[in-house]
Amino acid sequence: MGNLNNHIGVPLTLLSIHADHQMAVVEMGANHQKEIEALCKITQPTIGYVTNFGKAHLEGFGGFEGVIKGKSELYDYLRSHKQTILVNENDPIQVEKTIDYDNKITFGTPSSDYYFESFANQNFVGLSWNGDEAQSHLTGRYNFTNLCAAASLGFHFGVDFEKIKAAIENYQPTNMRSQVLEKDGKVFVIDTYNANPSSMAESLRNFSQFTGSKTAVIGDMLELGDESDDEHKQILALAQSLHFDGIITVGKCFKKVNTKGVAFENTAELSNFLQNNPIESTNVLLKASRGIALEKVLEFIH
């Protein structure tokens, strides 16, 4: 199942709320301005959190400034209705957008309402609170931020750390989002549900910290509009600077800029190539936009 974060999915989520439910967590997504505004009118949130301001859907938003303006529509609604904003104080945009607003919950710095220390066990991140640790099955520093946001909301609603710890440790990602899988003696990071320049850069940097040989298989980042060429060039340059043992690109956008490397137009071409040219690395990253369906090549990597 994908997600229910648009003008169709959000009403379906709300219709699934029953009288015995005490609260609902509703994801709202957007690929253009005024979409979050419309979803707020439907949802009427009492607490809101913008997970990040990344370079996603640049084409629809009209550039990165449009992303900031569009996502900030959640803040606009919460302000106008005197509701609560959850703020990551390590994110300068979130801080700037909420600096003059008092009704907020903060996390991320020692002076915040909630502050957590990070730690890593092999390739997985965890958080510690007053000396107690919760180990997740998620990879990447970006997921530490997600854990902090969830834990902060838990504390806000009176959930004790033992229950927060249990929730973190029992969650196993199976949705192609930061999913780590061991298969045929290899470690795979399957992050093929979606991709944009911000999340791609984070994934590549995190993957570079893995121990052992590493091959990055990266696919096109879609909906970038006029900025597509430059963004794909920058991501390719970043991947090359991280000194992976192998870099394979998939998709027309990457093929346009990856003129000297291993590049394929689609997953079918790569799958055919892999049947006679196995990836030798012990760690393999698969990261691309949903439209590339990069997870299809997994069965051909041995």
C-alpha to C-alpha distance for 159 and 129, rounded to whole angstroms = 13
pLDDT at 12 over 60: yes
Look at residue 302 in the predicted model and tell me its pLDDT.
82
Look at residue 2 in the predicted model and tell me its pLDDT.
65
In a domain, 41, yes or no: yes
Range of the domain at 253: 179-300
Across the chain, what does the average pLDDT equal?
96
Confidence label for 175 from pLDDT (cuts 50, 70 and 90) = confident
Phi-psi region of 44 (alpha: psi -120 to 50; beta: other; left: phi over 0): left
Taking alpha carbons only, the member of 49, 28, 54, 173 closest to residue 108 is 49
- Where a domain ends, among 170, 205, 225? 170
Q: CA-CA distances (angstroms) from residue 214 to 72, 115, 205, 283?
A: 38, 33, 12, 5
C-alpha to C-alpha distance for 246 and 41, rounded to whole angstroms = 48
- Where a domain ends, among 111, 142, 170? 170
Confidence label for 1 from pLDDT (cuts 50, 70 and 90) = low
| Amino acid letter, 29 | G
Are both 68 and 154 inside the same structural domain?
Answer: yes
Confidence label for 144 from pLDDT (cuts 50, 70 and 90) = very high
Q: Residue 249, class by beta-carbon neighbours within 10 Å (0-12 exposed, 13-18 middle, 19+ buried)?
A: buried
Mean pLDDT of 170-198: 94
Are both 96 and 15 inside the same structural domain?
Answer: yes
Mean pLDDT of 135-140: 96
| Amino acid letter, 255 | K
Q: Residue 276, class by beta-carbon neighbours within 10 Å (0-12 exposed, 13-18 middle, 19+ buried)?
A: exposed
In a domain, 74, yes or no: yes
Question: Could you give phi then psi for residue 49, rounded to 5 degrees?
Answer: -140, 130
Are both 264 and 130 inside the same structural domain?
Answer: no
Residue the block writes with tokens 């689609």 = 266
% residues pLDDT > 70 (the chain): 99
Are both 13 and 160 inside the same structural domain?
Answer: yes
Mean pLDDT of 27-55: 97
Question: Could you give phi then psi for residue 80, rounded to 5 degrees?
Answer: -65, -20
Are both 254 and 189 inside the same structural domain?
Answer: yes
Are both 15 and 128 inside the same structural domain?
Answer: yes
Look at residue 105 in the predicted model and tell me its pLDDT.
99
pLDDT at 288 over 90: yes
Q: CB within 8 A of 236, min separation 6: which ones?
A: 247, 249, 254, 257, 258, 261
Are both 29 and 165 inside the same structural domain?
Answer: yes
Mean pLDDT of 75-88: 99
Are both 72 and 219 inside the same structural domain?
Answer: no
In a domain, 3, yes or no: no
Are both 14 and 97 inside the same structural domain?
Answer: yes
In a domain, 184, yes or no: yes
| Amino acid letter, 117 | E
Look at residue 3 in the predicted model and tell me its pLDDT.
80
What three-state secondary structure class fits 274? helix
- Is 117:128 a contact under the CB 8 Å cutoff? yes
pLDDT at 162 over 90: yes
CATH number at residue 284: 3.90.190.20
Confidence label for 122 from pLDDT (cuts 50, 70 and 90) = confident
For the beta carbon of residue 31, count every other beta carbon within 10 angstroms. 15
Look at residue 226 in the predicted model and tell me its pLDDT.
96
Token pair, residue 292, equals: 């590339």
Mean pLDDT of 246-258: 98
Count of structural domains, the chain: 2
Q: CA-CA distances (angstroms) from residue 124 to 108, 181, 210, 287?
A: 19, 12, 10, 17
Are both 238 and 161 inside the same structural domain?
Answer: no
C-alpha to C-alpha distance for 111 and 253, rounded to whole angstroms = 43
